[in-house]
């Protein structure tokens, strides 16, 4: 099964989905590994942004594309960091 990497990047309250449906990964683990590397790059390049990266199979991608085509905007599934992940300074 093929997977497509979807990046949801937010600057303030505005979020956009970035993906190329023609760029696929042969398995979930390869997509996930690449997503981890991409996450680190995005954090360095856009430190004031928030985002998520997902690896979707063809059925999930079709549903997500329909969601966007219907005029919906992507949002983060966890917009606030979990309290246990916060570091007191």
Please write the tens of the pLDDT for every residue from 58-75: 999 999 999 999 999 999
The verdict on pTM exceeding 0.85 is: no
What residue has token string 């928030």?
50
Task: Quote the percentage of the chain above a pLDDT of 70.
Answer: 87
Count the Cβ atoms, other than its own, within 10 Å of residue 50.
18
Distance CA 47, CA 77 (A): 19
Q: Which of 53-77 are b and which e, b meaning 16 or more Cβ less than 10 Å from the residue's Cβ?
A: bbbbeeeebeebbeeeeeeeebeee
């Amino acid at each position: 099964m093929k997977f497509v990497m979807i990046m949801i990047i937010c600057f303030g309250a505005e979020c956009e989905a970035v993906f190329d449906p023609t760029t696929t990964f042969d398995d979930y683990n390869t997509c996930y590994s690449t997503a981890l590397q991409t996450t680190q790059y995005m954090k360095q390049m856009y430190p004031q942004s928030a985002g998520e990266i997902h690896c979707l199979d063809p059925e999930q991608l079709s549903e997500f594309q329909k969601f966007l085509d219907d005029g919906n905007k992507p949002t983060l599934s966890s917009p606030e960091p979990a309290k246990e992940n916060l570091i007191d300074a």
